[in-house]
Chains A and B, each alone.
Chain A
Amino acid sequence: QVQLVQSGAGVENPGASVTVSCKASGYTITSYSMHWVRQAPGQGLEWMGIISPSGRSTSYPQKLQGRVTLTRDTSTNTVYMELSGLRSEDTAVYYCAIQPLGYSSTGFPYGLDVWGQGTTVTVSS
Chain B
Amino acid sequence: DIQMTQSPSSLSASVGDRVTITCRASQSITRYLNWYQQKPGKAPKLLIYAASSLQSGVPSRFSGSGSGTDFSLTIRSLQYEDFAIYYCQQTYSIPYTFGQGTKLEIK
Contacts and interface: CB of A to CB of B under 8 A. Distances in A.
B31 A108 contact: yes
Interface string A72-108: 0000000000000000000000010101000010111
A104 B101 contact: no
16 contacts: A44-B87, A44-B100, A50-B96, A59-B94, A60-B95, A61-B94, A62-B95, A104-B49, A108-B30, A108-B49, A109-B91, A111-B36, A111-B50, A111-B89, A112-B89, A113-B49
A112 B46 contact: yes
B87 A45 contact: yes
Nearest to A100: B49
Contact of A110 (B49, B52, B94): B49
Contact of B43 (A107, A109, A118): A118
A35 B44 CA distance: 13
Contacts of A44: 87, 98-101
B39 to A, nearest CB: 12
B74 interface: no
B101 A45 contact: yes
Interface in A24-76: 35, 37, 44-47, 50, 59-63
